[in-house]
Structure 1
Amino acid sequence: MSSREISLSGSSLPGLWRSPTYRKDNIRTTHLWLKGKKIDDNTNGLWRVHDGLYDFSTFIDKHPGGSDWLNYTKGTDITEAFESHHVKSSVRSYLKQYYVQPATGARFSPYTFHEDGFYRTLMRRAEPIIATIHTGPTLRSKIWIDILMVTTMATAILATATSSYALGFLAGFLMNLTVVGAHNFLHLRDNMRMYYFDFSFMSCKDWRVSHALSHHMYPNTLLDIELCFNEQIFQWLPLKDKPWGLRYGSWFYSPIIYALLFFLSFLQRVASILCGNRKALRLDITIPFIPLLLMYALSGKTFWDAFCMWIWIVGVNSFIFGFLGFNGAHHHPDIFHDGDAPRADRDFGLGQIDAVRDHVEFAHNLFIVLVTFGEHSLHHLFPTVDHTNLHHLYPVFQETCKEFEVKYKPLRLSQLFKGQYQRLAKNEPNLIPPEKIIN
């Protein structure tokens, strides 16, 4: 296998018996991921939930979470998304009115949802708690994210007016807090604040696929776009023939990639449009340019001055986002990655826990949790619960972990930062499954 063909022929996880379609493409886009998933899931243009095929065509515009979720997933298996996005057990009863026929063949997925398993047990215990706190955004998180947005714009304008790149750095830092906080809202039903995420040059609409439907549903597996988005740049999988330059060179160029991440994302979107993906051409493509226009219109400076400051602010935002996103939760030698020995119990909730580590420093402070991808394990288990409400679920989470003898050990950010580089260099799989690792 050459260095240009860095890929596993199959997964170490039961249920993923081959590499997903289009995974070997150099750059995996949301468009390609959905196209490949429709091929792999083979649902005849319907929606699959467990072992049944359903037709939600007449329900798309009635869906309480917005039409995006069903429009994106038509023709795919949505079992993981259905289970994790609908905490109320009563929602299952609505499925029968849309039932068409039994599905043929096994699901192309590594996960199970047994009634007496970890995840279903946790969900039953969490349901009465969530009924009291609801799953939508809290007033607290709305106020915080709005204040951050206004403060970011004011600081960016002031930085331009004073030609202060120190203030520009502060604006980039504040914009990053705003973008990460907006990630909370893109998991929820359609709302205005999810578009704050688009100030990053990335798209909340696309992230609903790459992040919510891919990464969240299949973390650190071959179905996770964020793990496999470009394996010629970052390769976290434990491949024996991983080239030396990819293993250790990434240590040095990763900061540059972090700073360019948002710009590259925008260029990828433009390239996708030029290649015929008209669905990527939406009005929200103009959102990232709003700060630039405000900085130029209100600062009294030339357009060039505003443009240079804007590039600086976006670059700072991109670097912090990349640093936090890549180092904050999923990449450490002890965290499961496809290729490692998997847990014997393929329960969906256990799969989430095995692929995530929380960082100790950011736990329990509700504001910091909102703007740093905090309470990450609970967020993966309950993606539609507002970040500032996740702490209510710790008692039942810990109770269920104890009952199922699940080892759950948060790490320090410094450990995760170091571990990310160890994981990049790692070319031998963990042979001990997660449930047998002694912490």
Structure 2
Amino acid sequence: MKVFCVRREKPKSSLPGLWKYPSLRDVPLHSGGLWLQGRREDDGAEGLWRVHDRLYDLTGWEKTHPGGSDWITLTKGTDITEAFEAHHVRNVAETKLKDFYVRDAKTRRNSPYVFDPKGFYCTLKERARQALANEKYVGSTGTVYSKLLADFLVTSMLTLSVLAAWTQSYLVGTLAGLMLCFTVICAHNFTHMKDNIRMYYLDFSMMSSRDWRISHVLSHHLYPNTLLDLELSVFEPLFNFFPFEEKNFIVRYGSWFYAPLVWTFSFHASFVRRILDRFIGSGLEIRKAELIPLIIPASMIFIAGASVKDAVYMWLYITLSASLFFNFIGITAAHHHPVIFHDGDTPRPDMDWGVQQLDAVRDRPVISSSDLLALTFFGHHGLHHLFPTIDHRFLHKLYPAFQKTCAEFGVKYDGLGIGELIRGTYIQAAKNKPNTVPPGFGKH
């Protein structure tokens, strides 16, 4: 298949290990299927699975993989080092992996990160393993609290949607959209885990839980704020959070004003992108879960007695509202501020994966102070990036180990206020000069 790309000068990553510009990154579709295809071209996995500098053949393992088949089938032919390290808190997987070894890789990794056994992340993971040793929900499909909250949110969303159709009240429709937004954010917690029913709550939004596992879990979570972060490239050229000088005036400052419009149509754009992705044949098939969004208008028709036209109008309004709420919360939550590292800035010398994760994220102390807020506003963001498969309900248990390891390795991790992160998001969108001082080495 030949894919036509937008031709422009390709910026160079400031991270020394990311030596090759990601293939297919500039294809306008910016789909998960194309992102995986580009990784297969760049990662030197030779059609197998690469972990560090070794190749493994996991063929057949997808049928019995405890986390579900997607994690194996989606990543075939790619470098899964970061995913393997971050997704397995217990050390069982390291032992099992040896059974699938084929040969050493022939090329160096196209990744900026390292996992030194005596480095920050491996030290923290060992301490996290000890802290969570007696927690039965680790490695499961979530805690009872998180499951009940997710069920409450999706039930509230459907109830309000039916009520909005019955009363033809767009005010109630706005509340239904807010509940859909919170449902998606809470469901995000479950998309990181082994296959489970609640990860499909995300599909009510017209996004796809399977595609989200690519764009968010495998791309953004493992390579935040780098050229490999699909959640940044997907909004290009309308937005550009990288401090590259090529950004023009409209992208820098016009985005402040047209951002709400783009955010409002983001859910629908995701649906269109998936259809086009399947059409060009990037390897991702259509699944039954694609029909989940239709539950909302169907409920309006069969329970509220709304006409097909009224149900569709209200459904579209609810989804548009939810998309605006979701993107505003998500984009301003943790990653964009002039003091946060973005590719193009000067990185700190330590390429430890965990340290680099923290440089690309900030927490909001108010949000992380509550389990309810953490599950509905992307809380505990730093620890969530370091241990994405751990239910948000358990992340607070890791703070003692986290703080001890930060002090030991001289890593300073400060929070930012909600308002400051919102303000910083707009400033970062306009920023076209990179930070020349590495994170943790003084003021920028």
Query: Into which bin does the TM-score normalised by the smaller protein fall?
Result: over 0.9
Query: Counterpart of 1:156?
Result: 161
Q: How does 1:87-236 map to 2 (within 5 A)?
A: 87-133=89-135, 134-136=138-140, 137-236=142-241
Matches within 5 A, 1:4-403: 8-133=10-135, 134-136=138-140, 137-277=142-282, 279-403=284-408
**Matches of 2:269 and 2:282 in 1, distance apart?**
17
Bigger helix fraction? 1
Q: 1:6 to 1:330 in 2, by over 3 A?
A: farther
Aligned residues: CA RMSD? 1.3
Q: Deviations over 1:376-414 (max 9, x none)?
A: 000000000001111110110011111111111111111
User: Distance in 2 between the 1:31 and 1:254 partners?
Assistant: 25
Amino acid at match of 2:380: E
1:50–1:275: structure 2 CA closer, same or farther, 3 Å change rule? closer
**Which range moves more in the overlay, 183-192 or 164-173?**
164-173
Cα-to-partner distance string for 1:160-215 (whole Å, 9 max, x where unaligned)? 11111111111111111111100000000000100000011110100111110010
Secondary structure of the residue that 1:101 maps to in structure 2?
Answer: strand
Q: Find the aligned partners of 1:174 and 1:108 in 2 and give their Cα distance.
A: 40
In 2, Cα distance between the equivalents of 1:5 and 1:368? 43
DSSP-derived class of the 2:132 partner: helix
Q: Report SS of the residue matched to 2:340.
A: coil
Distance 1:9 1:357 in 2: 25
Displacement after TM superposition at 1:5 (Å)? 5.3
Deviates more, 1:262-271 or 1:379-388: 262-271
SS in 1 for 2:103: strand
Superposition deviation, residue 304 in structure 1: 1.4
Q: Shift of the alpha carbon at 1:420?
A: 0.7
CA deviation after TM superposition for structure 1 residue 276, in Å? 3.3
In structure 1, give the amino acid aligned to 2:433: E
Provide the rounded CA distance (Å) in 2 between the counterparts of 1:183 and 1:166: 26
User: What's the TM-score once normalised by structure 1's chain length?
Assistant: 0.97
Conserved in 1, the CA contact under 8 Å of 2:20 and 2:110? Answer: no
1:225 is displaced (CA, Å) by 0.3
- Post-superposition, which runs of at least 4 consecutive aligned residues in structure 1 deviate over 6 A? none
Task: Tell me by how many angstroms 1:7 deviates.
Answer: 5.6
Aligned-partner Cα distance in 2 for 1:126–1:399:
11
> Structure 2 regions of 5+ residues with no counterpart?
1-5
The SS at the match of 2:415 is coil
TM-score by length of 2: 0.96
Q: Matched residues in 2 for 1:270 and 1:286: separation?
A: 13
Secondary structure at the counterpart of residue 60 of structure 2? helix
Distance verdict in 2 for CA 1:157–1:7, change over 3 Å:
farther
The percentage of counterpart residues that share the same residue type is 47
SS at structure 2 position matched to 1:11: coil
**Offset of residue 241 of structure 1:** 2.2
Match of 1:53, SS?
A: strand
- Contact persistence 1:27–1:230 (CA under 8 A): no
* Amino acid across the alignment from 1:80: E
SS of residue paired to 1:100: strand
Q: Tell me, what secondary structure is at the counterpart of 1:18?
A: coil
Would you say the 8 A contact 1:327–1:420 is kept in 2?
yes
Report the CA distance between 1:229 and its aligned residue. 1.5
Aligned-pair CA distance for 1:272: 2.0
Partners of 2:160 and 2:412 lie apart in 1 by: 44
How far residue 279 of structure 1 moved from its aligned partner, in angstroms, is: 2.5
SS of 2:55's partner is strand
Q: Which amino acid aligns with 1:334?
A: V
Deviation at 1:26, TM superposition (A): 2.0
* Residues 190, 199 of structure 2: 8 Å contact kept: yes
Contact 1:119 1:350 in 2 (8 A): yes
- TM-aligned CA deviation for residue 259 of structure 1: 0.7
